[in-house]
Structures are given as C-alpha cells and as structure tokens.
Amino acid sequence: MATNEDQKQTESGRHAEVGHKSLLQSDALFQYILETSVFPREHEAMKELREVTAKHPWNIMTTSADEGQFLSMLLKLINAKNTMEIGVYTGYSLLATALALPEDGKILAMDINKENYELGLPVIKKAGVDHKIDFREGPALPVLDELIKDEKNHGSYDFIFVDADKDNYLNYHKRLIDLVKVGGVIGYDNTLWNGSVVAPPDAPLRKYVRYYRDFVLELNKALAVDPRIEICMLPVGDGITICRRIK
C-alpha cells in the first residue's frame, strides 16, 4: 500500500513522465550520482555539447550524462577501436565515443537528420576528435545492407551503439550480429522505454511511447533468447542492453 511518504515522492520527486533521463526511484538519487561522480569528471566539450543540446526543442532525445560516462568506460574497458553508432542527434554519445577511442579509432555514425549533428559538430571539432567520425546522412538500414555485402566488414566492429528508430532494432540486430566481432559488443538503448515495458495495458502513455513499446518488448524477448549473444540489461539512462557476441 502506498504510504504518505510514497505519495509525497510521487508528487515531488519521482519520475512521472517521459523526459527524465533516469529510471531511478528519485530525482534526488539521480542528482546525487550526477553531482558526485559524473559532472565533476565530465569532459568540458561534453558539458558544452550538453548545454547546446539543452536549448534544442528535441533535447529529450539526448543521451544522459551518466550514460555518456558509462559508454566511455565501457569503450575503454573493451579497447574499442572500430565502432558504429546508429542515431546521432546532436552527438552527445558520439562525442563520448570519439573521446574514448584511441587517436586512430573510427566511428561510422548514421542519422537521417544532419542538421542536428551539425549543431554539435563545432564542439566535436573543438575537442579535436572529428577525424574519427565518418557521418552518413540517411537511414541506417541500407548502409548496413551495403556493409554486409562485403565479407571483410563481417566481424569487424568492436562496439556498436544503437539509439535510433526502435521499430527497426530487430532489423538492425539481424545485420549487426554479423558485423560485430565475436567478443565485441552491441548496446541497444532505451530498452526499458521509460518504464513502459511494465506498464499495465490501460496506463496513460504518450502516443509515441505506446507505439514503440511493443517493438521494445519484442526486441527484449528476442535478445533474451538469442544464443549468439550474452546480455546484460542495465537501468542506466532509459535502459541499455549490452550484448556481447559469443558466436
């Protein structure tokens, strides 16, 4: 049963709707993480890009600072060099990746919208990491189909971050599983979809949350039984499922 305390939290502190960048129980706890371990160590270019993005009307789409820090740590832990990103927006996760990779690291970055990428590009350039980025404007699927045609791209990616159209994640997975190397990692973002994956059927969800939820649920089910990968679903940001290719 909900206590008065729970009620108070729901009204004041709990994340009540889409837009919060964490699934934690309270904003205070999320702020604590940001202020204690994320912001004091955030690269100045990441901070600048976060501030540029905050002024953009679609800023809800950006990767959260704590997730950026997580991606950076993961990339370094696996010594990633050849990487891919599907869904760039203004480039916060892209910049986190570019900064984490070695000087000769590479990111094939795809987005249907170049304008938003160009908003962040001056900051990426100022950070001196734009030479690692190969940006392709347009839908990602045809690019993946092209890559697949060439045998030498198979098993060539150390890390792939997927943060785009959720209704295509399974289509991406079919292709990415061949492109990532055995032992490499694919990260599927937003796999907890604002917590809606456990919402009752009559829950008041925003239209787009409701629409994509079924695709996210389907993806999560498919990843859970895919014998080619090991998985770990983390409640970072809006949920990220880390998939390590094992065969």
CB-based contacts of 65, cutoff 8 Å, min separation 6: 21, 34, 38, 39, 42, 46, 50
Q: Which residues contact 24 (CB under 8 A, 6 or more apart)?
A: 15, 30, 33, 235
Binding mask 114-153 for ligand SAM (x = CB under 6 A): --x----------------------xx-------------
Residue range at the interface with Ca ion (CB under 5 A); choices 70-78, 110-118, 162-170, 227-235: 162-170
CA distances from 197 to 21, 62, 218, 219 (A): 16, 20, 10, 11
**In angstroms, what is the minimal distance from the CB of 78 to ligand SAM?**
19
Instruction: Assess 67 for contact with Ca ion (CB under 5 A).
Output: no
Q: DSSP assignment of 118-178, as one string? A: HHHHHHHHHTT-GGGEEEEES-HHHHHHHHHHSGGGTT-EEEEEE-S-GGGHHHHHHHHHH
Cα separation, 179 vs 40, in Å, equals 36
Q: Which stretch binds ligand SAM (CB under 6 A): 38-46, 144-152, 164-172, 228-236?
A: 164-172
Binding mask 66-105 for ligand SAM (x = CB under 6 A): --------------------xxxxx-xx------------
Of 22, 62, 83, 97, which one interacts with ligand SAM (CB under 6 A)? 62
**Quick one: which of 27, 48, 130, 165 contacts ligand SAM (CB under 6 A)?**
165
* CA atoms 155, 159, 164, 168: torsion sign: positive
Minimum CB separation of residue 229 from ligand SAM in Å reads 21
Q: In what order do the strands lie in the sheet with 240-245?
A: 133-137, 106-111, 82-86, 157-162, 180-189, 240-245, 229-234
As a three-state string, the secondary structure of 87-108 is: CCCCCHHHHHHHHHCCCCCEEE
| Window contacting Ca ion (CB under 5 A); options: 24-32, 121-129, 185-193, 224-232 | 185-193
| Interface with ligand SAM (CB under 6 A), residue from 42, 158, 163, 238 | 163
User: From the list 22, 116, 190, 194, which residue makes contact with Ca ion (rule: CB under 5 A)?
Assistant: 190
- Looking at beta carbons only, is 90 or 220 nearer to ligand SAM? 90
Using rule CB under 6 A, residue 191 touches ligand SAM: no
- Residue 143 binding: pick among ligand SAM, Ca ion, none (C-beta 5-8 Å cut-off by kind): none
- Phi, psi at residue 55, to the nearest 5°? -85, -10
Residue ranges that bind Ca ion, judged by CB under 5 A? 163, 189-190
Q: Which residues bind ligand SAM (CB under 6 A)?
A: 61-63, 86-90, 92-93, 110-113, 116, 139-140, 163-165, 168
